[in-house]
Structure 1
């Protein structure tokens, strides 16, 4: 792997403000064009991947431990669902708005301020004494999560050459998958071995390390548009919701709808079927995603979405069908590998396709809407899957999730 150091900016040509300046304002900038070279692994791209990894680990360690913390505060099972949903909903609400700010105010200020807000809300877990206060904190934490992840993904797309968009987003997502692979287990280990205060301190430390790393990144300036093209750019930007974002984001919602049910109910399903070591499902799922993402990204760059997305959707469908009849650990892990293959192929391809179909002046909004659909799919999927389980059982839940992929197939055929 060849690492290329980014050239130092000349005064007044970097998006980074001068010392003592307002971080939300940017100086006039000469365009930093990642497409001037086809190299992917620049210093700045490595750093944004690293900061994203640290942020996602700090988030993932809360996934399995938050219900335990709610229980310690005296909350009910329904309170767990409300508190988890509050985080997701607040992120959904803020992403499109933050995406527009990223486009109009620059990446650097939004990202660094968002990381500081994320750090502050993580530290605030130390002072939680009631379920209600925790609910309020989760809303604020979700706002900061939406800001940080929207800005980071937009920065990553700025740093990836267009001709390697799929490959680059695949590698960027790989760092997220690594966090998903061991973050939850790390969180449980810290709580079991030490305590919740140690968990909160560790999470805050990870976010601070992410901020310290992000400060060193040289942020590309948003691409300038000649004055005579302003009206055309405005029309393109206004159409980002219909042309570049809504269809692919809707497909992403269908995909993450299936994940919502798996994350929320697979442990209970395994318990009902008497399948031991169900946690290995998520390990195999994450490892498979890590393995498939770079390959799928390169295939997207060569062939576009015509292979990665339909093949990935087929793999997801087969996984859900297998889960509906699973009664052994071997079958469960086979389903996990199929699901990881499908998700690892579809998700980065959809994100790269969203950016490809959107005007360059609206990358932030496109990323914001895409990730809002991701969060919304998880939230709706977990809620509706619970209703199906209560009425018809786990097999029906998995088959219902499989049918939710049908609209994704239809949308793909209409827009490919």
Structure 2
């Protein structure tokens, strides 16, 4: 944490306020993780319908990511953060009055806009405020809002749902979103040079189709594919673990699964950010994907509280390393003028994975059961490992060396 005291006072203040806003935002989001699938089930949803409703969250993500990414580049990172916080404050109130499956799908899609906006603006702001030489370390520390929020949120949500019902739960989720919005308004965005502003104004008429052409770039294609495959696994975890635990009658509060994941994620983010500035991003991305794959394998055979907690811990270690390292990697591979849309493009892969996971894996869970579903996510995670190890650099030998920390990133721009 000493790195923050080396920053200018204004940058340090902005990062601390932004951290608080992120913590409140993720606590709001995570408070619904163990409870919303059960709410959908309580209003008559089948396993597949639960998957469709939860997966609808990613529809808002996918539809808005590209526009929000361009908005962050052309107008303001802070504006995009504020859009995310506003939606996070409003959407939970909708669950108070909506109890039909079609309307829940629409509401979840609207709620998804919050993630698309907040994560894109937040990541771009953090990178703008971080010195290049300390980028990985600061991204790692600032990304702690996710595991801390995911540790606090499910505990808050599970306690409120069990003790007081769904109405206090949804009001609390909204309240956390409002507090996050208040904090976000206090952030002062770093100045943008006149040259950068001029370039963005001239790009204002950019053809949206060009946004998707970035996907063909070798510097971005592999991170996007990896996030797509891991997004499928994460979508299965966030949607079906509470139902899986309930179905096989394991005596475990589902919120504790997410708490175990959050603890591991917290630990890994503290360690790997600074280390990646010294040893490169590749070896840590490889390790994170491997942790994901082993976690999925354990969950496919889990039948005790300890096995679920171990799976959650390993998944948390994987996600706590993967997301900040991918953000650092694509930050290294992009300029400030394009960073918003580059973040949006690559993280859209993760969004698509989540969107597909709900309905597709939900339909798989019907005939094959939850164990069969997690065997499939195990295979997808190992496929992500193979993709990264063989195509993260200019050729297979280079990629293998980069993936084990023996080669520098040939696509890094250092800007």
Q: Identify the TM-score tier after normalising by the shorter chain.
A: 0.7 to 0.9
Q: Are 1:105 and 2:75 matched, yes or no? A: yes
Paired position in structure 2 for 1:150 = 120
Q: 1:62 to 1:265 in 2, by over 3 A?
A: closer
Q: Are 1:176 and 2:146 matched, yes or no? A: yes
3-state SS of paired residue (1:256): helix
* Farther-moved stretch of structure 1 (135-144 vs 56-65): 135-144
CA distance in 2, matches of 1:210, 1:285: 23
Deviation (angstroms), 1:88:
1.6
Deviation (angstroms), 1:247:
1.9
Using the size of structure 2 for normalisation, the TM-score is 0.81
Paired position in structure 2 for 1:413 = 390
Q: Are 1:384 and 2:360 matched, yes or no? A: yes
3-state SS of paired residue (1:241): helix
Q: 1:212 to 1:262 in 2, by over 3 A?
A: closer
Paired position in structure 2 for 1:256 = 231
3-state SS of paired residue (2:274): helix
Paired position in structure 2 for 1:37 = none
Q: Are 1:54 and 2:24 matched, yes or no? A: yes
CA distance in 2, matches of 1:57, 1:354: 26
CA distance in 1, matches of 2:198, 2:32: 50
Radius of gyration: which is bigger?
A: 1
Aligned length: 383
What are the residue-to-residue correspondences of 1:21-32 with 2, within 5 Å?
Answer: none
Paired position in structure 2 for 1:247 = 222
Paired position in structure 2 for 1:161 = 131
3-state SS of paired residue (2:56): helix
Is the Cα contact below 8 Å between 2:61 and 2:115 reproduced in 1? Answer: yes
CA distance in 1, matches of 2:173, 2:14: 24
CA distance in 2, matches of 1:274, 1:79: 21
CA distance in 2, matches of 1:238, 1:87: 21
Is the Cα contact below 8 Å between 1:275 and 1:327 reproduced in 2? Answer: yes
Paired position in structure 1 for 2:156 = 186
What are the residue-to-residue correspondences of 1:232-381 with 2, within 5 Å?
Answer: 240-243=214-217, 244-271=219-246, 275-277=250-252, 279=254, 280-381=256-357
Q: Are 1:81 and 2:51 matched, yes or no? A: yes
Deviation (angstroms), 1:7:
5.3
Q: 1:408 to 1:365 in 2, by over 3 A?
A: farther
3-state SS of paired residue (2:112): helix
3-state SS of paired residue (1:324): helix
CA distance in 2, matches of 1:101, 1:393: 42
Kindly provide the CA deviation profile for residues 100-149 of structure 1, in whole angstroms up to 9, marking residues without a partner as x: 11101122333334433443334444443654444333332222432233
Is the Cα contact below 8 Å between 1:245 and 1:358 reproduced in 2? Answer: no
* Farther-moved stretch of structure 1 (143-152 vs 345-354): 143-152
Is the Cα contact below 8 Å between 1:319 and 1:336 reproduced in 2? Answer: yes
3-state SS of paired residue (1:358): coil
Deviation (angstroms), 1:225:
4.1
CA distance in 1, matches of 2:253, 2:230: 22
The structure with more helix, counted as a fraction of residues: 2
Kindly provide the CA deviation profile for residues 342-364 of structure 1, in whole angstroms up to 9, marking residues without a partner as x: 22222211121112112221111
Using the size of structure 1 for normalisation, the TM-score is 0.80
Q: 1:107 to 1:227 in 2, by over 3 A?
A: closer
Query: Which residues of structure 1 form unaligned runs of 5+?
Result: 9-33, 35-41
Query: Which residues of structure 2 form unaligned runs of 5+?
Result: 394-415
CA distance in 1, matches of 2:131, 2:183: 22
CA distance in 1, matches of 2:242, 2:168: 26
Give me the CA root mean square deviation.
3.2
Kindly provide the CA deviation profile for residues 318-346 of structure 1, in whole angstroms up to 9, marking residues without a partner as x: 23333334443333333333322222222
